[in-house]
Amino acid sequence: MQTPPTHVLTLVADPAAFPLTPALIARVRAAVGGGVPVLLSAGEAADIPLPAPPPMDAVRAALGAAPVDALAVPVAGRRKRLLIADMDSTIVTGETLDELADFAGLKAEIAAITQRSMNGEIDFATALRERVGMLKGLRLDALEETWARVRLTNGAAELVATMRAHGATTALVSGGFTFFTGRVAALVGFDLHRSNVLEHDGARLSGTVAEPILDRDAKLATLRALSAERGLLATESLAVGDGANDLAMLREAGLGVAFHAKPVVAAEARARVDHTGLRALLFAQGYRAQEIVAGIDPDPGAGAA
């Protein structure tokens, strides 16, 4: 009798740019000694069942330069019941604070601090206070102008809509600001959002952010609190993010995914998505293309909606 698989390796490609071919799937299968592949989406995603976690070095060697993501997960508890997602450079394509800084003529300076913070080179809360302080006096309508630039990451709406349709709780948890997380959460369909509050005098930014600051510890605490409230184990959660302040929640979650992440995050995360969009997180949970709920247009011009 054949031993049932305990793990699965999911391969995901962008079919428009680089379709996932049977030959490439077969090459990876041979490299890891996997079972008969299961197609999740033609040209886009396939599962390779395995009797143990695969050697990822062998997977990467088999893929070579192919822009294909490979995520290894246990078969048991594969579909998650809680999603905790970062916002900037994860659910939306850019950094909202950096875009806001553009209206103060400070985008380059503030983006450099953002990059150092996301790489874990400086403390997140310190970096946030410094950047917000530089925006003191910026008119409030710059927030609306920034919102007009916001664009959703490909697959964001599908990820949230599909998980919610299958009973999962979805939370947007960001070190950014409530002005943006509230709108993104409503647009995409998240159950709840948590982030920081920009202080102002009714006309201009005060250059301060309300305390306490939502940082990496707060993201982890949110994951734990929501799991406890819903009677879930840590293994039943999925977390996704790109920066150093996401690492704690990525480590804690049953499936923690570094999404187009900074090097320090990609190096530590157990799962990575480097080439494709957020649909990859659905395929990693075993969803087939026909099970995916469309949600809204994946590039609706969010701020203009």
Q: Cite the active site residues.
A: 86, 88
- The values of phi and psi at residue 145, to 5°, are -65, -35
Instruction: Label the pairing between strands 7-12 and 69-74.
Output: antiparallel
User: What are the backbone angles phi and psi of residue 72, rounded to the nearest 5°?
Assistant: -105, 125
Please state, in angstroms and rounded to a whole number, the distance separating the CA atoms of residues 49 and 51: 7
